[in-house]
Structures are given as C-alpha cells and as structure tokens.
Amino acid sequence: MFELRLEQGSLLKKVMEAIKDLVNDANFDCSATGFSMQAMDSSHVALVALLLRSEGFEHYRCDRNISMGINLANMAKILKCAGNDDIVTVKADDGTDSVTFMFESPTQDKISDFELKLMDIDSEHLGIPEAEYDAIVRMPSAEFARICKDLSSIGDTVVISVTKEGVKFSTRGDIGTANIVCRQNTSVDKPEEATIIEMKEMVSLTFALRYMNSFAKATPLASQVTISLSSDLPVVVEYKIAEMGYIRFYLAPKIEE
C-alpha cells in the first residue's frame, strides 16, 4: 500500500501546472525515499526530474516500491478540483489499476475523492551523471520568467553567456536583437531577491526559448531559480520545492552545425 498526505496541497497543484504541458505521460515512482518522477518531453530535447522526499509529507507510507503510470493532463484536471488550502491525500492499494486523490478543506466541512485510472507506460529511466558545472547562476525566479517571456517576443532561441561581468541573455529575430545582462547582486534586503553567479569557466550556450518558457511555469514553486551551465552538458534549471525536494528541468543545447 502507498499513501501520502500533504497539508499544503497547493504545492502538488503547482507541480502539476509546471510539468503538464511539457510531458504527456509519466511513471511516478513511490519508494521509502519519496515520490519521484523522471520523464522526457515528446521531442526528447528536455527532461524533467521531480523529487518530493518522504520526510516532507505529514504522512507517508510505502510498503513496497511501486510505479504509477499517469497521464499528466488528467492528473492536473483532478488536482485543479482541490482548493488551494486543501489537504491532499494520495492513495494506491497494491495490485490495483487506479490511484485515489482525496481533498479535505481546512475546516473538514468538504471532503472529495477522485479515482484516476493508471496506465502502462513504457519509459526509459536515464542515468543523470553527477557533474561539475562551469557556471551556476542563482536569481529570482520571477526575473528569469520575465526575461524568457520578453525575449520570446523577439526571437526563438536564447544565448545564455556567463562571464565575470554577469549573465547575459541574448536573442535575435526578424525585427532585431535583444540583450539582457544581470549582474551579481548580493546587497539586497531579502535573500530571495539576490542574484549570485559562481563561475569557474566562461560559458555560452544556445537554447530554444519555447522550453525555457515552459520551465518558467514552475515559478510559483520557488522564489529563486538555479541555472547550471557547462559547455558539454544540458543546462539544468532547478526550482527547489520548500524543504521537500526539487523540480529540475534539463535542456539539451542547440549547437552550430
């Protein structure tokens, strides 16, 4: 039997909103460690990895490891029915082909349950090697979302360059070009407004803005985003989820032919 209870149910709603447009179907793996998911988008250009550690839930029981194949659009439909303040319980019995979502209002005066059919999904689990990155940028997630949105009105791709001057986001399109430079800024009153750049090597990589805008849907989950870049690796765009875990988006770069 598998059962988890999360008082802050809005968190699961935000997770689904962040990934439902990127991935169609995914296997959610439930183990003693926690609730996790790894899936690629249909073009195999981006990969999303989610981890919600068991300690982060108010209640977590997993008698044996199970993998639940779920259509994310359908799961998002169900989670949309939960109130923002609702307590969410997810439950699956061994050997059944469905998972139950229960929503309780904070005052316990409304209790709903939804049963979602599980699917058989043949998905490949990729090994993501530990890597040292040439540059790691931490910045306000809302600022990153704004930059990706603004640049996508000019061009289709973004060049992210990290130098000792800061991090530069550039694009070009039919109407012209755009460059946005963010400098390191640690002298802010609130740590969530800081921009911190750790650079070992200068790095410059090109990515499709369409995917960056999709990743930015995770902005409500975290006030800061971490962008890790290396010249020979996919970029990692990470949003930490409270004290529970993370959602990481990996995106393969575009390279000169």
Which residues would be at the binding site for other proteins (CB under 8 A)? 40, 43-47, 124-129, 157, 206, 208, 233-234, 250, 252-257
Alpha-helix residue ranges (DSSP H) falling in 132-236: 141-152, 209-215
CB of 234 to other proteins, least distance (A): 5
For residue 93, give both structure tokens: 């019995």
Separation of alpha carbons 247 and 237, rounded Å? 8
For residue 196, give both structure tokens: 């911190």
For residue 131, give both structure tokens: 């890597």
H or E stretch at 74? helix 72-80
Between 16 and 49, whose beta carbon lies closer to other proteins? 49
CB of 120 to other proteins, least distance (A): 18
CB of 232 to other proteins, least distance (A): 8
Between 175 and 255, whose beta carbon lies closer to other proteins? 255
Instruction: Provide the 8-state DSSP code for 97.
Output: S
CB of 46 to other proteins, least distance (A): 7
Cβ pair 199, 135 in contact under 8 A: yes
Separation of alpha carbons 136 and 228, rounded Å? 4
CB of 235 to other proteins, least distance (A): 11
Between 40 and 121, whose beta carbon lies closer to other proteins? 40
CB of 95 to other proteins, least distance (A): 25
Between 168 and 172, whose beta carbon lies closer to other proteins? 172
Neighbours of 90 (CB within 10 A): 23
For residue 5, give both structure tokens: 């209870």
H or E stretch at 18? helix 10-19
Between 56 and 253, whose beta carbon lies closer to other proteins? 253
Helix (H, G, I), strand (E, B), or coil: what is residue 225? strand
Separation of alpha carbons 89 and 5, rounded Å? 4
Between 74 and 206, whose beta carbon lies closer to other proteins? 206
